[in-house]
Each structure stands twice: as C-alpha cells, then as structure tokens.
Amino acid sequence: MAAASLSIIIVTYNSADALAGLLDSIAEELEGFGAANVLVIDNASRDETLEVAAAHPVGPRIIETGRNAGYAAAINIGYGAISPDDHVLVLNPDMRLASGAIKQLFITAAETGAGIVAPRLLHPDGEVAHSIRREPSIARAISDALLGWRIAGRLGWSEIVTDESRYARAGEVEWATGAALLITPKARRAIGTWDERFFLYSEETDYMRRARSAGFAVVFEPRASVMHVGGESGTNPTLHALQVRNRIRYYAKHNPLSRAAAFRLIVAANEGLRLSRSEAYRAGLDAALATRAGD
C-alpha cells in the first residue's frame, strides 16, 4: 500500500500540552512508513495549539474551523480537504503511536478487508484500556446501572468489553472508542460524513454502526498499539454530562421512541444511583433528565 494514500486527521481544542508528543510519535512512525498528509483541524483553541503545530518539524497542514465545531464536524472538514482515495487515521491529540502501529493498521485493513481498524489503546502505565464496546441496549444499560460496568463486564453483560483475552486477539467488534481509528477510502465513500449532531461522544458509535450497515467490518487489532495519555470524561462534570446526553440521543436515533424513553430512564437511574461518588454523576443525572428523543 503506497504510503502517500494516508492522511492523518488530528482534531484539536486547547491541545497545546498534548499535541507535540503526538506529532513526535507521528514523525517517528513516518520514518519507517513513508509520507503522509498530516492535518490539524483546530476548533478555535485559546492556548498555544496553533503555534505548537506550526513549529513542529512534521509540518502539519493547519485548518482553523473558526469555532468550537465539535469532533465530528472537524473530521468532516478534514475529509473535505483530502483525496477521497486516502486512507484516514483519525487521532485525538493526546495519543502516542507505538512503533509500527501505522504499518500494522494498514496490513490488517488489507488482509481482512475491514472498513475500520481500531488499535489497542494503552494507559500511560502500559495497562490495556477497555476500548472495545458492544452496541448499546436496554439490557446492557440495566446491567451497568444495577451491577456497575465492572461486574457486568465480567459477566459479559456490559456495553464495555472487559474480558482481557479479547484484547489479546484481532477480530471483528461492534465498535471501539474513537480516539484512534484507521478508515479505508472505500468505507469512507460508502459511509459518508460523520453525524455532526453528536458534538462529542457517540459520534464514533454512530459512524461504526453505519459502517456495519454498509457491509464493512470494524476490526480490533492488538498488534497496533497507541497510548492514550489523557481522558477525563469520567471526572469532568461537563464532559460526563455531554457523554450521557449523547448516549441517549444516539439510542433515540436508532430505536423506536418507546424504547428510547426507557433507555433514557435507565441511564438516569444509573447516574442517580452513583450521586454520592462525584459531581460528575449529578451533572450526568441532570443531563439525562433534560434530554429528550430528537433533541
């Protein structure tokens, strides 16, 4: 596969502290891979993100959205700036590519015919992140609410896949967290753009559902590793509320109104049962109660 067929899209928002490390890892990867188009799509950062990007030797193309447009909208802007024949590697700015990750993602895409390949994500301490997900359902939401995702995960009842053996082998998954994804040009053309109604969170759930509906597999590849040095949605009340809101909105998009209403109540119950743990759950409960199908 010609290396020139790769574009790397990085969506930034006040990412100055993280971006240089990602660009460093991209530069190291490209030494063994070849050329790639690197794009930084910036959502009106107020810190030094643009300066960091402009000064980096990898020479990314910087596209300013002019507003905080959200993750999906920024990716769509990136799509519009590249060839439809390019493979796309979407990366959060707080990622770090391990050696050989890009090459392995390409190999897996070519060998399996997958439309989307998700690498193994690692925490900064080297522990494997639970990034594989099952499609949201009422039964899984009830299990997570009553048992907690860790216990429900051990039983195989959670949306989050926690079976460690699953993270040791490649294979098809329903979806995986969207912090790092390789998307083939055939899949991009068939799926279309990302749904911009999901400002942040659940946009990848929706995109990978649409990939599966278009006949493209989503494949998890543990031989490609990416370290995730950030991630604060679980502790930041604003981000957690947005995550809860978009889970409900995603389910409502793809299910009848009656089931969507039940799902919303279960998600609200999950947040309410955990109010004493942190302010994030209070924000999540408020978001669940305020969200209606079609919002």
Say if residue 127 is in the same domain as residue 273: no
In terms of residue numbers, what domain contains 156? 3-228
Say if residue 63 is in the same domain as residue 148: yes
Say if residue 201 is in the same domain as residue 275: no
Give tens-digit pLDDT for 24-82: 999 999 987 888 999 999 999 999 999 999 999 999 999 999 999 999 999 999 999 99
Instruction: Using alpha carbons, select from 75, 5, 61, 9 the residue that is nearest to residue 33.
Output: 5
Give tens-digit pLDDT for 57-68: 999 999 999 999
Determine the Cα–Cα distance for residues 279 and 148; give it in Å rounded to an integer.
18
With respect to residue 295, please indicate whether it lies within any of the assigned structural domains.
no
Mean pLDDT of the chain: 94
Instruction: Using alpha carbons, select from 159, 124, 144 the residue that is nearest to residue 271.
Output: 144
Q: What is the pLDDT of residue 4?
A: 44
Give tens-digit pLDDT for 260-273: 999 999 999 999 99
Cβ(231)–Cβ(93) under 8 Å? no
Determine the Cα–Cα distance for residues 278 and 286; give it in Å rounded to an integer.
13
Say if residue 171 is in the same domain as residue 191: yes
Provide the pairing of β-strand 6-12 with 132-133.
unpaired
Q: What is the pLDDT of residue 268?
A: 97
With respect to residue 68, please indicate whether it lies within any of the assigned structural domains.
yes
Number of domains in the chain: 2
- The token duo for 107 is 């190999």
Beta bridge mates, 87: 6
Helix locations, the chain, DSSP H? 16-33, 49-55, 71-80, 101-112, 138-147, 149-154, 185-191, 203-213, 237-254, 257-272, 279-290
Determine the Cα–Cα distance for residues 291 and 295; give it in Å rounded to an integer.
7
Say if residue 99 is in the same domain as residue 160: yes
Give residue 11's region: left, alpha or beta (phi > 0; psi -120 to 50): beta
pLDDT at 3 over 50: no
Cβ(181)–Cβ(118) under 8 Å? yes
- Which of 204, 228, 252 corresponds to the end of one domain? 228
Say if residue 103 is in the same domain as residue 248: no
What's the whole-number mean pLDDT along residues 216-222?
98
The secondary element (H helix, E strand) that includes residue 218 is strand 218-228
Q: What is the pLDDT of residue 246?
A: 96
pTM for this entry? 0.94
Give tens-digit pLDDT for 142-194: 999 999 999 999 999 999 999 999 999 999 999 999 999 999 999 999 999 99
What's the whole-number mean pLDDT along residues 100-122?
97
Q: What is the pLDDT of residue 277?
A: 92
Determine the Cα–Cα distance for residues 44 and 62; give it in Å rounded to an integer.
12
- Which of 228, 246, 269 corresponds to the end of one domain? 228
Say if residue 100 is in the same domain as residue 40: yes
Residue 272 main-chain phi, psi, to 5 deg: -65, -35
- CATH of residue 125: 3.90.550.10
Cβ(229)–Cβ(96) under 8 Å? yes
Cβ(169)–Cβ(120) under 8 Å? no
